Structure 1
Amino acid sequence: MKIVRPAKAGTMESNDIYIMVYPNENGNEIQLDSIVLKQFGNQIKKVIMDTLNELEVENALVVAKDRGALDYTIKARVETAIKRACE
C-alpha cells in the first residue's frame, strides 16, 4: 500500500493511542511518545512495524501518541490510519 496523504486514527483518551501517518521517502519510521515508554516502548514499536509489514506499507512515517493502549488497539488504529492514507 502506498501512503498518498496524511491520515489519523484514535484519541488521546486513557487506554487509547493516537496514530498519525504521513508519506515518507526514507522507508518506514516510527516516532513514539508514550506514558509507558520505558516499560513497553519496544513492544509498541513492534506491533506498529508488524502491522505495516502485514499491510505491505513502505515509506510511511508513523507518529504515535500512546496513553496505555493494548496491542489489539494499537493494531486497529494503525490499520485504520493506513487505510485512510492510501489511494
Structure 2
Amino acid sequence: MKIMKPAKAGTFESNDIYVMVMPNEGNGIELELESIVMQQFGDEIKRVIMDTLKGLEIQDVIIRAQDKGALNYTIKARVETAIKRGCE
C-alpha cells in the first residue's frame, strides 16, 4: 500500500487516539507521538503503530498520533483506518 493523500482517524476524547498520516515518498517512516501515558506506555504504543504499518506493508509515511489512553486494539484500528483512507 502507498499513501497518496493526507488522512486521519480517531478523536481527542479520553481512551482514544487521533492519528494523521501523510505521504513521505522515499523517506521511510516518521513517527511523532504525544501521549498522556508516554512514560508508562510510550514504547508499547510505538510498537503497536509500527507493527500495524508493517502488517499493511507501509514503508513511506509521516504518522502523527495524539494518544489519550487508548488500548492496543483501538490504536491498531485507528492507524489502519487512517492508512486505508490515505491510500484511496
Class of the TM-score when normalised by the shorter of the 2 chains? over 0.9
Structure 2 match to 1:82: 83
The residue identity in structure 1 corresponding to 2:74 is T
Q: Calculate the TM-score normalised by the size of structure 1.
A: 0.97
Equivalent AA in structure 2 for residue 22 of structure 1: M
- Sequence identity of aligned pairs in percent? 69
Aligned-residue offset at 1:58: 1.1
Q: RMSD over aligned Cα, in angstroms?
A: 0.7
TM-score (norm 2): 0.96
C-alpha distance in structure 2 between counterparts of 1:73 and 1:29, whole Å: 20
Match of 1:5 in 2: 5
Alignment of 1:10-29 (within 5 A): 10-25=10-25, 26-29=27-30
Q: Which runs of 5+ in 2 are unaligned?
A: none
Paired positions, count: 87
1:56 matched residue in structure 2: 57
Runs in 1 of length 4+ with deviation above 3 angstroms?
none
SS of residue in 1 equivalent to 2:32? strand
Cα deviation for residue 42 of structure 1 reads 0.5
Per the alignment, residue 42 of structure 2 pairs with 41
1:4-36 CA-partner distances (Å, limit 9, x unpaired): 100000000000000000111310111000000
Aligned-partner residue type, residue 70 of structure 2? A
Aligned residue type for 1:51? T
